[in-house]
Amino acid sequence: MTTYHVRAAGEEDVDAVVGLRRHAEDWLRSAGIEQWTRSEYGARVVKGWIGAGSTFVVETEDNEIIGSLSLDAGDPTFWTEEEMRAPALYLYKFIIRSDHRGTGLGDVLLDWSCYRTEMAGGLWLRLDCWRDNFGLHKYYLDRGFQYLTTRTDPVRMSGALFERPAELRLAKKPAAYLIDHTLGGIEFPNIPSL
Ligand SMILES: CC(C)(COP(=O)(O)OP(=O)(O)OC[C@H]1O[C@@H](n2cnc3c(N)ncnc32)[C@H](O)[C@@H]1OP(=O)(O)O)[C@@H](O)C(=O)NCCC(=O)NCCS
């Protein structure tokens, strides 16, 4: 079982996280998947979220950044005010470098995101994603998310809305282990339940 470390991203991580985003764009393009086609816009969004303190990076034991995700408020382009009154956190820019995918790390990170959602008082982990990418929709449906609806925007291609109860823990053992440095180096998923 591989051990990874998760911590809050700082300004010093901007290049690494933008690099991950570009890596994901290359992978998507070579797989013929229409998603994340606006590279400069994506890099600006990544920088903004790191500046806002809502991005986390995942590192190997050798301190190499191989994944990242952001947890923040809902995007008002896609979620209504009423929907955003529900206690929820919203997952953005979930990326794992190709050579660490399919290891169980993604499932652990979704459980961890749910855990953080609960810590923040949330009942739902939500996301909006590329609305025509049904392969990606399947990824989330297979992991306990429910499809809610699709909203369109003239410029942005996201808008397929999903949510998962924050209490869900679906990672199968043996899976990747996370050392959570946002909580002083506690091992996840061995963190006691809330
Ligand atoms: C999403 C991600 C973090 C999941 O990592 P993981 O839990 O290790 O899962 P895997 O990468 O093994 O993917 C599982 C399946 O979903 C598919 N998948 C993953 N991302 C996808 C995408 N963006 N579009 C279509 N299919 C996707 C994979 O091809 C794989 O399909 P397979 O089982 O038929 O081989 C990782 O795939 C990734 O970084 N993807 C690119 C960035 C991305 O699209 N992030 C989500 C934004 S909302």
Kindly report, residue by residue over 147-192, the tens digit of the pLDDT: 999 999 999 999 999 999 999 999 987 778 899 999 888 888 765 5
3-class secondary structure, 161: strand
Per the structure, the count of domains in the chain is 1
Confidence at residue 190, expressed as pLDDT on a 0 to 100 scale: 66
Residue 49: which residues within 8 A CB-CB, separation 6 or more?
A: 55, 70, 72, 92, 93
* Amino acid 102: pLDDT: 94
In a domain, 64, yes or no: yes
Rounded-to-integer distance, Cα 115 and Cα 109, Å: 9
What per-residue confidence (pLDDT) applies to 82? 98
pLDDT classification of 100: cutoffs 50, 70, 90: very high
What lies within 8 Å, CB to CB, of 142 at 6+ separation is none
pLDDT tens readout for residues 48-68: 999 999 999 999 999 999 999
pLDDT at 170 (0 to 100): 93
Spatial distance between the Cα atoms of 7 and 91, rounded to a whole number of angstroms: 16
In a domain, 122, yes or no: yes
On whether residue 77 sits in a domain, the answer given is yes
pLDDT, tens digit, 9 for 90 and up, residues 2-42: 899 999 999 999 999 999 999 999 999 999 998 898 999 99
- Residue 71 belongs to domain with CATH number: 3.40.630.30
- What number does the ligand 1 atom closest to the CA of 95 have? 39
Q: Is residue 131 classed as helix, strand or coil in its secondary structure?
A: coil
Q: Is the CB of 70 under 6 A from ligand 1?
A: no
The mean predicted confidence, pLDDT, of the chain is: 94
Distance from the alpha carbon of residue 106 to the mean position of ligand 1, in angstroms: 9
CA 28 to ligand 1 centroid distance, Å = 9
Q: Could you list the residue range(s) of the whole structural domain that residue 175 is in?
A: 3-188
Residue 194 lies in a domain: no
Has residue 193 been placed in a domain? no
Domain membership of residue 53 (yes or no) is: yes
Domain contains 48: yes
